[in-house]
Copies of this chain bind each other. A is one copy, B any other.
């Protein structure tokens, strides 16, 4: 029944909330978003189940589900310490580039759908179709530039 709440300054709490909000807008679920925020802001980047639960004031089951989904989507991982049964959860921050590219997957979907729309549209609406095409082309350009930048990162890592 001990309280494992992590001590946080007010500004840290505020940032966790802000981070959670941004993550929610990017389509992540609330509890997962809060966990991501906490793990990014906490001075100690490795927190136990109970520290997360007590700091975020969530139920065990909410924390369990959030952690497991984050583990499955490879946003977090955990360490164990000898002589200690607890797991220490942390962001997989070194894989930040993969996470960002996953977010950009949304742009790819958008491009694919718009290409399909362009393909089946009537040719009657010339200006409309031209604008759709310009938009799809712009998105493709952005997508390619992001991929190029990412390749540079990958090279640097090696």
CB <8 Å contact, A145 and B138: no
A62 at the interface (CB under 8 A from B): no
Q: How far is the CA of A9 from the CA of B119 in the complex (A)?
A: 14
Q: How far is the CA of A9 from the CA of B19 in the complex (A)?
A: 43
Instruction: Report chain B residues within 8 Å CB of A91.
Output: 128
CB <8 Å contact, A40 and B139: no
Given the interface contacts A106-B22, A117-B19, A124-B43, does A146 sit within 8 Å of B142 by beta carbon? Answer: yes
Q: How far is the CA of A40 from the CA of B129 in the complex (A)?
A: 10
A121 at the interface (CB under 8 A from B): yes
Copies of this chain, tallied across the complex: 2
Q: Interface on chain A toward B: helix, strand, loop, or mixed SS?
A: helix
Give A103 Cβ to nearest chain B Cβ, in Å.
Answer: 9
A82 at the interface (CB under 8 A from B): no
Q: How far is the CA of A120 from the CA of B12 in the complex (A)?
A: 8
A116 at the interface (CB under 8 A from B): yes
Instruction: Report chain B residues within 8 Å CB of A134.
Output: 96, 153
A58 at the interface (CB under 8 A from B): no
A7 at the interface (CB under 8 A from B): no
Given the interface contacts A22-B106, A22-B109, A138-B100, does A43 sit within 8 Å of B131 by beta carbon? Answer: no
